[in-house]
Amino acid sequence: METQDKIRQANSIAHLIRLIGVLFFIAMAFQIMTWKYAMFGGVACFIIAPFVRRLMVNQ
């Protein structure tokens, strides 16, 4: 039971990071941020999310 809660929490954190990445892309579309910073932030969030999930599950 404890493992399921840990996996569920890790998945929700990873989804939240991915959502922030999507918000970077939306900010770029509406020209709230310059495309360079928004692309960097969005791609970084999508790359970091699985690593954060893996770290949380393994702890």
Output the pLDDT for position 19: 98
For 42-55, b/e burial (b = at least 16 CB within 10 A) is beebbeebeeebee
Give the pLDDT confidence of 32-52 residue by residue, as tens digits: 999 999 999 999 999 999 999
Output the pLDDT for position 1: 53
Question: Phi and psi for 22 in degrees, rounded to 5?
Answer: -65, -40
- Tell me how far apart the alpha carbons of residues 10 and 38 are, in angstroms, rounded to a whole number: 25
Question: Phi and psi for 38 in degrees, rounded to 5?
Answer: -65, -40
